[in-house]
Amino acid sequence: MIPPALSSFAAAHRAVRFAWFKSGLFWRTFFLMSVLTAVSMGAWIGMINVYQRGPQVQQTAETVVSVVTITKAALTHSAPDMRLELLLELASNEGIRIFTLEDTDVIDPPPHNPLMPEIAAIVRQRLGADTRFSSGVNGVPGFYISFNIEDDKYWLMLERERLAGLTRVQWLGWAVVVGLLSVLGAALISSLVNRPLARLTSAARAIAKGERPAPLPEKGSQEIIEANRSFNQMVEDLAQVEKDRAVILAGISHDLRTPLARMGLEVEMANLSQEARDGMQSDIAQMDAIIGQFLDYAKPTEAATFVPVNLSELLSDVGRDAGRIQNLRIRTDLMPGVHVQGNATDLRRVINNIIENARRYGITPGQDYTEIDIVLRVKATGHGRRAVIEIGDHGVGVPPDQIAQLMKPFTRLDSARGQANGAGLGLAIVERVLTRHNAGLEVSNREGGGFLLQVALPLAA
C-alpha cells in the first residue's frame, strides 16, 4: 500500500509536470498538432511499407533475372576469342563481373535484407532451384548470383548500389528530418493562430488596469476581424462613457453641493436654537459626505498618472494626521524607503477611507476610542515581491459569514445601519482604486479581536 504522503507527492508531481500543457492555448495547439503529425507520419510510413514491398520485390527480381539471362545469352552466343573482350566490357560499362564458381570458394550468406527471401524465391522460380545467392565470395563483397552454362558454373556479381533501396537508417533519417520540419511548421501555425488571441488578451488586461490599449488590427480571418472590430468599438464606447461620467460628476458636484452650501449658510443665519442648528449642520455635513463618496466611487483612476510614490512617507503622514483626531490612537511600524507605482492622491484616499471605516465601526471594547495599527513590510507573494500594508483595529471584528459582503457597493452591515454617516461605499471605493493599481486586497478578522485589511501593492521599478 502506498503511503498517503507519497501518493500526495506523486499527484503534485504529475500536476506540475502537466502544468505547461494547461498554461496556454499555444502549447495545447502545438502539442495536438505535433501528435497529429506524428500519427500521420507513422501511417504514411506504414502504407509505404505495405504498398511498396511487393513492387520493390518484383522489380529487383526482374532486374536480377534480366541481367543473368542477357549475360548468359551473350556469353553462350559470342565467339570464343571475343569472350574476354565481352567480359571486360560488361565489367567496365555495366558493373557486371563474371567469375568461375569453384568448390573451394568461401561463400558468405545472402545479403541481410527483409526482402531477400521473396526476391530469391522469384529468381529461383525463373532461373532454377539451384540458383545461389551470396553477399561476398572469397572476401570480395558484392551481390552474387550463380548460373550455369551447360556443365560450367559461374558467379555473376552486381554492385550492391544497383539493387539497394533505402535502408532502415536512411528511412529513420528522412523521418527525423520530416518530423523536425513538421514540428517547426506546427509551432509556426500555432503561433499564427494564437497571436490574435494573445493580442486580444493583452488589450483586455490593459483595460482591466485602467489603460487604453492601441486599436487591434482588423485583418485576418473573418472571425478575427469581427472580434477585433467589436473589441475596438467596445474600447471607444468605454472611453465615451468615461467622458460622459466626468460631465455628469461635474454636474452633480455643482447642482447638489451648491444648494447644500446655501442651506448651510441659511442655517447659520436662521433664528434657531443651538441644538437644532447643530443637528441640521450635522445632517448637511452627512449629505455632503455621501455626495463625496459617490464622486470618489465614480471617479476614474488613470494609469497614466502613476508615478513612483514613497509609501513609507505617505503612511507616516496619514498616520500623523489621523492621530490628531480625538477618538483615534494610531500606532505605526513602517519599513523605510518603500516605493510603489501609483497615484499618491488616490492611495492617500484609500488609506483614509480604511482608517475612517475603522474609526466608525472598530471602537475598542470598553473604551471610547479606536486603536489602529499600521504596518508596512516588503514581502514575497505569488505575484513577486510587493509592498504589503496591514491596517487593523482592536474592535469586535465582523461576523465571518458577512466578510464577503463588505466589498459590495451600497452594503452596510447590521452594526452600521443605525448610523447614517455614509452610503456603504467606503470599502467599495478602496477595492475599486486598488484594482486600478493592480493591487491585492484581503480582509479578515484579527487574531485576538478586531478587523484586519491587507493591501499588496506592486513595487516601483
For cell 513538421, name the residue: 182
Q: Which residue has the cell 572469397?
A: 138
109: amino acid identity, one letter? P
Quick one: what percent of the chain has pLDDT higher than 90? 11
Pairing of strands 328-334, 370-381: parallel
Q: Over the Cα atoms of the chain, what is R_g?
A: 45
Per-residue pLDDT, averaged over 223-243, amounts to 86
What is the model's pTM?
0.46
**183 pLDDT higher than 60:** yes
Tens-place pLDDT, residues 73-131? 887 877 766 766 777 777 677 778 888 888 888 888 888 777 788 888 988 988 888 88
Residue type at position 303? A
CA distance 116 to 131: 14
Determine which helix (DSSP H) or strand (DSSP E) holds 341, and give its type and residue range: strand 339-342
- The string of pLDDT tens digits covering residues 411-426 is 555 444 334 444 445 5
User: Is 113 strand, coil or helix?
Assistant: coil
d(CA 115, CA 134): 14
Q: Give the pLDDT score at 335.
A: 92
Distances (CA, A) of 178 to 30, 43, 182, 253, 406: 16, 14, 6, 70, 60
pLDDT at 358: 86
For all residues of the chain together, what is the average pLDDT? 78
Contacts of 422 (CB under 8 A, 6+ apart): 289, 290, 293, 412
Alpha-carbon distance 128 to 69, whole Å? 12
Of the candidates 115, 114, 112, the one whose C-alpha atom is nearest the C-alpha of residue 56 is: 115
93 and 153 Cβ atoms separated by less than 8 Å:
no
In angstroms, the CA 368 to CA 34 distance is: 71
Task: Encode pLDDT of 189-211 as tens digits.
Answer: 777 777 888 888 888 888 876 67
Q: Kindly state the helix (H) or strand (E) to which residue 340 belongs, with its residue range.
A: strand 339-342
Other CB atoms within 10 Å distance of the CB of residue 419: 11
The DSSP string of 350-378 is HHHHHHHHHHHH-PPTTSSSEEEEEEEEE
- Counts for the chain of helices (H) and strands (E), in that order: 11, 11
pLDDT at 336 (0 to 100):
92
Residue 154: alpha-carbon gap to chain centroid: 71
Q: Helix, strand, or coil here: 339?
A: strand
